[in-house]
Chain A
Amino acid sequence: MSEAAIFTEGLSKSFGAQAAVAELNLKIQPGAVYGFLGRNGAGKTTTMRMLLGLVRPTKGSARVLGLDPAKEAELMCILERVAFVPQRKQLYGWATPAEMVRMNKGFFPRWSDDGAAQLAQRLEIPMKTEFKKLSIGNQSKVALLLALAQEAEVLILDEPTAGLDPVMVDEILRTLIEDHVSQGRTIFVSSHHLGEVEQICDWVGILENGRLLLESRLEEIRQEFRLVIASGEGLPAVSSTNVVSATTDGRFRRYVVSREAERFAAELRGQGSTILEISPLGLRELFLHLVQKEEPCTLGNAGAKPAPVSSFS
């Protein structure tokens, strides 16, 4: 079995009493395009920073391309082979993109001059304007250019398209698919734009309060995941391990079921509830159901803490 491009085991980070990332287990295979989703403050950026040695884990471990970012010598090898676009795309205000390209080139042995020139043209970057004088969108494009021309084995992109217009977003997604996904590079991307994630990713992980709520193939979400809405008095506890999330909304209860939704619905019917709807879920609906739930519920324990019966009356 090939080594995971990104692997974390019990990875945790706390800032004082606040747990930013808790017991995170990820295994991203080489060549995967992994969408890392979550609300603001869910722990996505902290996770990415831990992978790049910018933040030290409180507990647990991480491996990037089989190397440990907590060890400085191994971190240097990681940084040579991984490209990163941070959330805050701040570069030197005095430097022009052309100067940044020249400087960046010296750091990376696999740097592609042709790739940089092509990207500059495709993304319409004014290469001779000082970074501080560029618009937010152009600043983001420069950060992307520097990362993509690195010809890295792994791309870690933290909200790469923030601040870009739809035409540029489309151009960048096309570049990622054509130049990077097609070459089998691993992409670990966080984004709030779920449409973009659906366009390029084959895996998604949804993070909430530092915990991974869900990790699944996107294809599986489309084919297997269902929303089951049930209503009834005194709904009994649900014991199915296929329930990813359960939320109450007045008299109704919504279940996100990862597979065998019909069987689960039959189980509910058998326990006296009325099934109002069984519908497929898009990534957006799934995300909203998972992160907006009223009652904490993680994979496998959906039935452990059912809503009080009184909440249905």
Chain B
Amino acid sequence: MYAWKCWRETRASFIFLLILSTVPALLVTLSPGLKEQNGWWHFDSSEYLRNPGPTSQLVSIMVLSVLWPSGFLSAVFLGATAPGSEIESGTIEYLWTRPRWRTSLTWTHWSVCLAEMVTVAVVPTYLAAAILGTLTRTWNLPLLMIAPWMMVIVGVPMLGLTTLMTALRRSAKGGLIYTAGIVSVYLIVRQLVTVPLHLNLPPLFAGPVIWLMNNKPFVPLSAFPWGSLVRAVLLAAALPLAAQYLLKRAEV
């Protein structure tokens, strides 16, 4: 029942995020074929067959560019509905007097949000891949195939961070502000120390997406940012565990 409540509560955000990512992905995918003639737009699928390889590559990168912020947004906005957010809103007394372990409530919410995040990442990307494959008649689209999973890898630690921040701040707004603050401060500090001091701080756990954005999917696996991936996986597990620990001991 709690899973239904999580779904019902995040349903509007989920649909909004799905539209927010699907519509631009479709527009970008169809953009090479859109032509203007005498003030009218029409679609010419033959454009995709002139240079199918480069077109696929270019469209894939464009799709990824428009999609990856939605991975971040979905993680943050869905995470802000975590059980910790119910402390300030006052519904926690209701929730925590249901015969369910607080640990199970935390992880049920996390699982529902993860499923929604995966959907938000997979549906527009694979829809774009299906359209692109059909139009170019080539199904060699490695970038689009792995892109959603890289976005999920980045998104899951963000989901965990927001879950933890809502537990710490005991509110959705507090969770959102602190998550955005932590990420912004880190990025600013990273930028500040990188240029003048020539220090290269790790991009937290965003390495896989940056690697994809830099258009290097075909370089040897040794060039893959494994460190970033390990950090992402560790944070993905550690942050919700920390939230679970806090909420299990919280008094309201």
Contact = CB atoms under 8 A, between A and B. Distances in A.
A86 interface: yes
B252 A107 contact: no
A92 B9 contact: yes
Contacts of A90: 89-91, 93-94
Given A55-B252, A92-B9, A99-B8, A107 B90 contact: no
Contact of B97 (A52, A77, A103, A105): A52
Contacts of B251: 49, 54-56
A188 to B, nearest CB: 14
A107 B93 contact: no
B116 to A, nearest CB: 16
A293 interface: no
B97 A54 contact: yes
B96 interface: yes
Contact of A54 (B90, B93, B98): B93
A107 B251 CA distance: 22
Chain B interface size range:
10 to 19
A312 interface: no
Identify whether the interface residues of A are mostly helix, strand, loop, or mixed.
loop
A95 B6 CA distance: 12
B5 A103 contact: yes
B54 interface: no
Given A54-B252, A94-B8, A99-B8, A107 B100 contact: yes
B94 A91 contact: yes
B245 to A, nearest CB: 13
A86 to B, nearest CB: 4
Contacts of B8: 94-95, 99
A184 to B, nearest CB: 22
A19 to B, nearest CB: 15
Contacts of B89: 90
A88 interface: yes
Contacts of A86: 93-94, 97
A72 B101 contact: yes
A23 interface: no
A88 to B, nearest CB: 5
Interface of B: 1, 4-5, 8-9, 89-91, 93-94, 96-101, 251-252
Given A55-B251, A107-B100, 13 more contacts: A49-B251, A49-B252, A77-B99, A79-B98, A79-B99, A84-B97, A86-B94, A88-B90, A90-B94, A91-B94, A94-B8, A95-B8, A103-B5
13 contacts: A72-B101, A76-B99, A76-B100, A79-B98, A79-B99, A86-B93, A88-B90, A90-B89, A92-B9, A94-B9, A99-B8, A106-B4, A143-B94
